[in-house]
Amino acid sequence: MIRVGINGYGTIGKRVADAVRAQPDMTVHGVAKRSPDYVAVGAAEADYAVYAADADRADGFREIGIDLAGTVDDLVAESDVIVDATPSGIGAENRPLYERHDTPAIFQGGEDATVAEVSFNARANFAEAEDADYARVVSCNTTGLSRFLAPLHETYGIDKARVTLVRRGGDPDQTGRGPINDTVPDPVSIPSHHGPDVQTVFPELDIDTIGLKVPTTMMHVHAVNVSLAEEPDGVDDVRDQFRAEDRLLTIPEYAGIDGAGTLKDFAMDAGRPRGDIWENCIWGESITLQGRDLYCMQAIHQEADVVPENVDAIRALTGLLDGPESRSLTNETLGIDL
């Protein structure tokens, strides 16, 4: 049983903890939390051992009735692998802590690619992380694009990908984020940083991206155009490729799912924890082929799509299973593609 420590118990950390708990071959050794707030109370109520990320705040945890299991230093020493889900940039600052204890670690997409030997996506490059001590699970957008592009790249080859990313302004708990009433080019420079991030997974891929930010907390939406190297045998051939992928969900026309709001409603009706959607959601009607040019639109739930990837990254780093075995077990235990 691999003991997993989660350092940083926020949007991503708490979801990864619950996903790890659902696995038969790993256990949550504990979670390191910085603030003694409602999320910390939730962690304790979920029976996670809580460690103080900041020893100076330990008294605050005791005051709200949380018995600490130790400090983050203890958590790193006692764990077989750490998932660092701290805010962007803090992961890099934490790396020396993991090195000091010789504990392998998984970082998140808010870190620079240089934080780890490998930028990881379970579908595209699982094997590259098998000999690594440190891996970075790429961002929600890069995860969504990597999953989408991998089968196209393998089957037809890609001459060039062009993607416009309509990005959610913030997560539901990010009360200070925006825009509140605007559509903002973000970044205004073209191409955006997302293309180079995809190239950390597919170094040879020609991809340009454009980013915008809009006032929603629901999901990101990507408008994608891929010029394929080889012409598919009709649009149904492409649809079949997508259908064969476990983390690509094609939304059927009959469902009446016309936006990210209805998608989230669907996920909540389906009983998904926190309304999470771990899969890319591709609108079936949008899949259009003009010669070698493929067009479509997909929605990405930013809070959720990287969660199964973190579970798979744990298996890659610790050698528990190979890529297909790990993805299949993660899917089965979380309820993906059922």
By the rule CB under 6 A, 222 interacts with ligand NAD: no
Instruction: Out of 245, 303, 309, 312, point to the residue binding ligand NAD (CB under 6 A).
Output: 303
Q: Report how far apart the first and last C-alpha atoms of the chain are (Å, whole number).
A: 26
In DSSP notation, 236-291 reads HHHHHHHHT-TTEEEEPGGG---SHHHHHHHHHHTT-GGG---SEEEEGGG-EEET
CA atoms in the 13 A half-sphere facing the CB of 31 = 29
Residue count, binding to ligand NAD (CB under 6 A): 26
C-alpha–C-alpha distance, residues 212 and 62, integer Å: 43
Task: Tell me which of 12, 90, 140, 296 is the catalytic residue.
Answer: 140
Near ligand NAD by CB under 6 A: residue from 2, 9, 26, 134: 9
Among residues 2, 5, 7, 76, the one that binds ligand NAD under rule CB under 6 A: 7
State the Cα–Cα distance between residues 181 and 74, nearest whole angstrom.
45
From 79, 86, 146, 192, residue interacting with ligand NAD (rule: CB under 6 A): 86
Nearest to 4 by CA among 117, 84, 90: 84
Closest by CA position to 24, among listed 305, 314, 247, 324: 314
Among 2, 17, 50, 53, binds ligand NAD (CB under 6 A): 53
Among 280, 302, 310, 326, contact with ligand NAD (rule: CB under 6 A): 302
Q: Which is nearer to ligand NAD, 9 or 242 (CB)?
A: 9
Q: Which of residues 155-214 bind ligand NAD (CB under 6 A)?
A: 171
CB of 17 to ligand NAD, least distance (A): 11
Give the residue closest to ligand NAD by C-beta. Answer: 10
Query: CB of residue 34 vs ligand NAD: minimum separation in angstroms?
Result: 4
140 is annotated as an active-site residue: yes
The yes or no reply on residue 36 touching ligand NAD (CB under 6 A) is: no
When asked if residue 140 is in the footprint of ligand NAD (CB under 6 A), the reply is yes
Q: Of these, 4, 6, 34, 118, which contacts ligand NAD (CB under 6 A)?
A: 34
Alpha helices in the chain (DSSP H): 11-21, 38-45, 58-63, 72-78, 90-100, 122-125, 140-155, 194-199, 235-243, 260-269, 306-318, 323-334
**CB nearer ligand NAD, residue 34 or residue 153:** 34
Binding region for ligand NAD (CB under 6 A) out of 87-95, 126-134, 235-243, 330-338: 87-95
Minimum gap (Å) between residue 19 Cβ and ligand NAD: 13
Question: How many other C-beta atoms are found inside a 10 Å radius of the C-beta of residue 326?
Answer: 22
And the tokens for 288?
Answer: 């259009």
Strand partners, 282: 250, 298
Nearer to ligand NAD, 92 or 228 (CB): 92
Place of tokens 């079936």: 284
Give how far Cα 337 sits from Cα of 9, 53, 81, 244, Å.
Answer: 27, 36, 27, 10
**280 lies in the site for ligand NAD, by CB under 6 A:** no
Which residues have a Cβ under 8 Å from the Cβ of 21 and sit 6 or more positions away?
A: 27, 28
10 sits near ligand NAD (criterion: CB under 6 A): yes
Residue from the set 5, 8, 104, 211 that interacts with ligand NAD by CB under 6 A = 8
Burial class of residue 328, CB neighbours in 10 A (0-12, 13-18, 19+): middle
Q: For ligand NAD, which is the closer residue by CB, 112 or 240?
A: 112
Which residues are known catalytic residues?
Answer: 140
Positions in the binding site for ligand NAD (CB under 6 A)? 7-13, 32, 34-35, 53, 85-88, 90, 108-111, 139-140, 171, 302-303, 306
